[in-house]
Amino acid sequence: MAQTRTIKVEALTRVEGEGGLHVRLNGNAIEEVQLSIYEPPRFFEGFLRGRPLEEVPDITARICGICPVAYQMSAVHALELALGVSISPEIRRLRRLLYCGEWIESHGLHMHLLQAPDFFNVASGIELAARFPHEVTRGLKLKKQGNELLEVLGGRAIHPINVAVGGFYRAPQKDEMQKLIPAFEWGLQAAIDATRWVAGFEFPDFERHYEMISVCHPDEYPMNEGRIVSTSGLSIDVSEYEETFAEHHVAHSTALHSLRTSDQSSYHVGPLARVNLNREKLCETSRRVADEVGFITPCFNPFKAIIARGLEVIHAFDEALTILRDYKPFKPSRIPYEHRAGEGCAATEAPRGLIYHRYQVDDQGKVVLAKIVPPTSQNQRQIELDLVDWLPRVLCDDDQRTADECERLIRSYDPCISCSTHFLKLTVDRGGSSDGEPR
């Protein structure tokens, strides 16, 4: 008689936000895997309607304390398209610098305190710190450098307040930027060492064959602009995003699932997708370290995203140093514009993957429509399908161990549940069906 077994993780851990996992098995056959995001809907798209467009960067920054810059950058680029604003090269460079700060702090946190503990069978970054004090301290310092850059450029580390439609409210002084250089020189070397450290972890042999998607720019590693490309040959303009991807409601999650419109297939966004699709645009140091540690692309092992994050941290320090060293204060820090009715969209690269925004504005400068697709809703279905493949490898009589292994895979995506993340707690419901049929 087949036995139905349910494994539940009530609350995922070491992710931002509130989510859980429900797995139903019939014998050893997997019948259902649901990554449930039960955090209440936050209605940001609704809040934005009717608001002055100038408020959008500050309101959308509140979606996430870890990746506010991603929301701000996507918003200002989309709104500038709607308004017909062209920013200056100086503003563009400062925006890349701001994004470097966010990648450094977000990746630094995830690599050292969230994902690395999974490779040493410890429950937290604190336990890992007792075992690897030097490495964890280094990771904390890397994160700190990212935050300090955000403070200088954004006015504060969390929810920066200096980003405006058209540019920045204030361009930093030269000495403010130069003060950061020695710490960033240290950071570049520390990022190299950290990447070497994580590349030496023991990774599960788990290659998947899915479509990876990221922004791709002809000349630079993708952050703020470019076409949307995939490992399956997709190459579209950002304006074609909603024809190519569509969000769907699912009963078990308050987050929408984003799928390809052509065949309802899932896809993967994030640092692994970016490195796979843009490796040649990483800075020379990142490419050298990738070669040195034997990081072969394309890589379809989600656990190895931690190496991709390391390579991106190196890149971010390298690019930030170039911008900091060349920086000269400039005017205007914000390009003036007139209100007009229009529509614009943008795709940028948040630390955890591609993020898409579209806005319609009226001739009074009010938001008529806002659409925001965060990375985690794009990865959600892919995580479930990964778990379908992962579970047979990790399934054992000990439900807690099974759940721990599932969480480990989920965390490799660095999901943001508040944009969409936290830890998984497990409850197990075992029971046999009387008729031998699946329940």
Partner 1 sequence: MSHSGKVLVAGLGSPHGDDQAGWLVAELLLKKASGTLGVSEAQDENLMPESSRHLFQDVVVRRALIPLDVLDWLEGVDVLHICDACESTPGYWKLHRSTFEADRFVNPNATGDVALHSTLNSLRCRGSHNFELPDVLRLAATTRLLPKRVIVWAIEGTCFHPEDVLSDMTRNAALQAADEILKELRLSHA
Interface contacts to partner 1, rule CB under 8 A: 13-16, 65-66, 109, 113-114, 124-126, 129-130, 133, 136-137, 140, 143-144, 147-148, 151, 155-159, 161, 418, 421-423
Q: Which is nearer to partner 1, 14 or 357 (CB)?
A: 14
Helical axes 133-154 vs 89-109, angle rounded to 10°:
150
| CB 234 to partner 1: min, Å | 32
Region of 300 on the Ramachandran plot (φ > 0 left; ψ -120 to 50 alpha; else beta): alpha
Q: Which is nearer to partner 1, 268 or 411 (CB)?
A: 411
The nearer residue to partner 1, 74 or 418, going by C-beta atoms, is: 418
C-alpha dist (Å) from residue 64 to 51, 60, 241: 19, 8, 23
190 phi and psi angles, rounded to 5 deg: -65, -35
CA distances from 345 to 73, 76, 81, 84, 414 (A): 11, 10, 7, 12, 25
C-alpha 234/C-alpha 240 separation (Å) is: 11
Report how far residue 279's alpha carbon sits from residue 15's, in angstroms, rounded to the nearest whole number.
Answer: 27
- Complex with partner 1: residue 372 or 419, whichever CB lies closer: 419
Of residues 198 and 289, the one with the C-beta less far from partner 1: 198
Within 8 A by CB and 6+ apart from 166, the residues are: 76, 80, 85, 87, 91, 334, 335, 336, 337
Q: Which is nearer to partner 1, 77 or 411 (CB)?
A: 411
Residue type present at position 189? Q
Q: How far is the CB of 147 from partner 1 (least distance, A)?
A: 5
Pairing of strands 268-269, 212-216: parallel
Q: How far is the CB of 70 from partner 1 (least distance, A)?
A: 16
| Closest CB 195 distance from partner 1, rounded Å | 20
Q: Do residues 184 and 141 lie in contact, with contact meaning Cβ atoms separated by under 8 Å?
A: no
Question: What is the closest distance, in whole angstroms, from the C-beta atom of residue 120 to partner 1 in the complex?
Answer: 14
Instruction: Give the nearest distance from C-beta 40 to partner 1 in angstroms.
Output: 13
User: Residue 245 Cβ, how far from partner 1 at the closest point, in Å?
Assistant: 28
Q: Which is nearer to partner 1, 185 or 211 (CB)?
A: 185
